[in-house]
């Protein structure tokens, strides 16, 4: 019965979208399509093989309600034990690259380079070797939100500048141990999000929280620069890799056509906060950030701005520390100016209010689906920072659609199309990475949000993986090197007897008879 229902669903969708047919768009030569994960979100094995407790282990174990479903990362996707299966999934989808992160606490249990966990290093060597042996290029991130808990207790966290040298020592160990197997490095993922949300969950005093988030980003930028220079001076000649930083940025649309300021303000306070010190001609933070935060700090009775200042030496040291610009993109917003408070303060320092448009389709996360946002973001970055090479390191969506994730296919098609149009218009975009390869632990949302190309059964001790429709669609466009509209893909799949493909997807090592479709029906 389910097989028949699936076929009816596919036929209906093909007929429904046929009127929306569009021309093919060719993928540029060398354009790499991949998928991403992060260590804490998929590995599990939280206390296995010499790994120590990280900040998320600690937070969740001490406050199980921190995630909405009381989930933990203790087992998650169990990728620590199932990494070969995951790489096989990457290979069979046909993805060019696989982005994953290193768990700092798995390789340096104390956070210090004085103690190296050889079991942890060997795990990542095995994962990297598995990627290369299957024709998959690994993209490796050094830091994706999961600091070593004991190190944070020792230092007080990223508001302490000592974290800069701890991170630099950690980076040097990883470059030395794994660098012969890695050609693409990212230092720190989404510094703005990490410093706004993850680093200071318990701050209740606004002034303190804001000051600490700015100190956090200040030191993260220094740490990134230290890691970049270490790689550039000590390892690049032999290893011949590339290294950059990954930041998050939405795109903003003015609520009023007369508002010519709010879009730039929002960009400067989000993306510019992290990118300007690295990618701008003069370095340092955007001037509007320095001005408005200083004004707010004065209105709050502070003698110094909550935004710390870089010395001339640090400005020069940080500026230009990139081989590429890594971007994660998810959230668009409508923006409008907010009036100053009676005390003369700018609202949230930036002085801008963010909302969704009433007509936007929303994801399960409540984020707007606005494909043109990613294209406009790429053009703005290109124009603002003198056409850097851009790697899109995360773009994806959570819907409630399950394995037949037609809405995810439509999302990826529409966003990828805007990326290709931005390339046509002169943006140097060479990489597109879907978040995520697997359904996984989504931080505060636990396992309630499903971003994966692959479904994971978290109730099954084996954490059974099941490919979604979107993974087949991606395989098709990568094979054909063309962005194919959804209805053409579906018709092609029908010609290839898609129904039987779903029932027996042997390429993926999945038993669709048991997991998805009852052939007896």
190 is catalytic: yes
**392 bridge partner residues:** 327, 432
CA angle in degrees (0–180, nearest 5) for 331-244-40: 65
447 Cβ contact list (under 8 Å, min separation 6): 69, 71, 439, 440, 441, 458
44 Cβ contact list (under 8 Å, min separation 6): 73, 74, 75, 76, 77, 78, 79, 80, 81
Q: Among 96, 23, 25, 93, which Cα is nearest to 482's?
A: 25
Q: Are 121 and 80 in contact (CB under 8 A)?
A: no
> Which of the residues 270, 394, 410, 418 is marked catalytic?
394
Cis peptide before 436 (omega within 30 of 0): yes
Please state, in angstroms and rounded to a whole number, the distance separating the CA atoms of residues 289 and 268. Answer: 7
> Which class for 78: exposed (0-12), middle (13-18), buried (19 or more C-beta within 10 A)?
buried
> Which of the residues 43, 177, 190, 410 is marked catalytic?
190
Measured in degrees and rounded to the nearest 5, phi and psi for residue 344 equal: 85, 25
Beta-carbon neighbour count of residue 114 at 10 Å?
A: 8
DSSP structural state of residue 497: T
> Which class for 262: exposed (0-12), middle (13-18), buried (19 or more C-beta within 10 A)?
buried
E strands in 304-379: 325-328, 332-337, 352-355
394 is catalytic: yes
Please state, in angstroms and rounded to a whole number, the distance separating the CA atoms of residues 499 and 132. Answer: 32
Measured in degrees and rounded to the nearest 5, phi and psi for residue 324 equal: -155, 165
Structure tokens at 374: 């990613």
Q: What spatial distance separates the first Cα and last Cα of the chain, rounded to whole Å?
A: 4
Q: Are strands 465-467 and 332-337 parallel, antiparallel or unpaired?
A: unpaired
> Which class for 312: exposed (0-12), middle (13-18), buried (19 or more C-beta within 10 A)?
exposed
Catalytic residue annotation: 190, 394
């Amino acid at each position: 019965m389910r097989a028949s229902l699936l076929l009816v669903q596919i036929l209906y969708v093909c007929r429904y979208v046929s009127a929306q047919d569009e021309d093919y768009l060719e993928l540029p030569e060398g354009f790499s399509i991949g998928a991403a994960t992060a260590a804490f979100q998929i590995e599990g094995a939280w206390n296995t093989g010499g790994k120590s407790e990280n900040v998320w282990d600690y937070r969740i174990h001490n406050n199980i309600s921190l995630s909405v479903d009381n989930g933990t990362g203790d087992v998650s996707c169990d990728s620590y034990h199932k990494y070969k299966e995951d790489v096989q999934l990457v290979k069979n989808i046909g993805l060019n690259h696989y982005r994953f992160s290193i768990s700092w606490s798995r390789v340096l249990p104390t956070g210090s380079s004085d103690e190296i966990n050889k079991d942890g290093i060997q795990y990542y060597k095995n994962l990297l070797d598995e990627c290369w042996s299957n024709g998959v290029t690994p993209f490796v991130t050094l830091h994706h939100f999961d600091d070593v808990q004991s190190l944070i207790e020792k230092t007080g966290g990223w508001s302490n500048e000592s974290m800069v040298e701890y991170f630099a020592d950690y980076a040097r160990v990883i470059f030395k141990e794994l660098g012969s197997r890695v050609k693409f490095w990212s230092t720190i993922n989404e510094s703005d999000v990490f410093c706004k949300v993850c680093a200071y969950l318990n701050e209740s005093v606004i002034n303190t929280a804001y000051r600490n988030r700015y100190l956090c980003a200040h030191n993260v930028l220094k740490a990134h620069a230290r890691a970049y220079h270490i790689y550039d001076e000590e390892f690049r000649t032999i290893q011949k890799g590339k290294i950059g930083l990954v930041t998050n940025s939405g795109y903003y649309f003015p609520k009023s056509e007369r508002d010519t300021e709010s879009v730039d303000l929002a960009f400067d306070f989000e993306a510019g906060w992290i990118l300007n010190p690295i990618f701008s001609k003069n370095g340092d933070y955007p001037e509007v950030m320095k001005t408005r935060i200083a004004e707010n700090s004065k209105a709050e009775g502070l003698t110094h701005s909550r935004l710390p200042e870089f010395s001339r030496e640090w400005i020069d040291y940080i500026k230009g520390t990139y081989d590429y610009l890594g971007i994660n993109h998810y959230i668009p917003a409508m923006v409008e100016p907010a009036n100053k408070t009676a005390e003369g303060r700018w609202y949230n320092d930036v002085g801008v209010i963010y909302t969704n448009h009433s007509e936007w389709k929303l994801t399960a996360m409540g984020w707007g689906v606005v494909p043109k946002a990613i294209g406009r973001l790429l053009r703005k970055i290109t124009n603002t920072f003198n056409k850097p090479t851009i790697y899109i390191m995360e773009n994806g969506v959570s819907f409630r659609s399950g394995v037949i994730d037609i809405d995810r296919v439509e999302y990826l098609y529409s966003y990828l199309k805007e990326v290709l149009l931005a390339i046509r218009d002169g943006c140097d975009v060479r990489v597109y990475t879907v978040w995520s390869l697997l359904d996984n632990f989504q931080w505060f949302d636990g396992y309630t949000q499903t971003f994966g190309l692959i479904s994971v059964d978290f109730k099954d001790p084996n954490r059974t993986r099941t490919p979604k429709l979107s993974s087949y669609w991606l395989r098709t466009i990568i094979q054909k090197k063309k962005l194919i509209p959804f209805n053409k893909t579906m018709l092609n799949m029908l010609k290839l007897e898609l129904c039987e493909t779903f029932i027996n997807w042997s390429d993926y090592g999945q038993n669709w008879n048991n997991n998805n479709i009852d052939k007896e029906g």
